[in-house]
Amino acid sequence: MVRKILLSCLGLFLLGLLSFKFISKDVKFVPDSFVVPLGKATSNFSFVKVSPQFTKLDFEALMSAKEFIREQLNSEWPSDEFTLKENTESLVGDLTAFNERENFTFHIFDAEKKINRMLLYQSNI
């Protein structure tokens, strides 16, 4: 069941990545009045607003799933040479986009926030 949930979240992440390329900057993802959640905790998982402070865990999760991601995106991203520095830069960009309400990226952790399961990335479709 947990694997099914994680794969569903990864599917949303990949859909967000693909759809983000086709979004006009003039289209608002959510109304200005919408309060974007910064996180949510359950007994098994927590969702936390994207942050470069989680770069190492995020990088480990990304690279451990790189074959699956490549297959889903039909691309070579992330490359075997993708670096921790590049990942940090990507998270900084995701944080900027979150703060500007262009898209919303969340880290998904286990209950102890020790393992970054993946990113949940959602943008205007």
pLDDT tens digits, 11-67: 444 444 444 444 455 667 788 898 999 999 889 888 889 999 999 999 998 999 999
Lookup: tokens for 59: 């990088």
Q: What is the pLDDT of residue 30?
A: 80
**Sign of torsion over alpha carbons 56, 82, 87, 94:** negative
**Which residues contact residue 47 at a Cβ distance below 8 angstroms, ignoring those fewer than 6 apart?**
37, 39, 40, 41, 106, 107, 108, 109, 120
Choice between 25 and 82, residue whose per-residue pLDDT is larger: 82
pTM for the whole thing?
A: 0.72
Beta bridge partners of 47: 40, 108
Domain ranges of the chain: 2-26+38-123
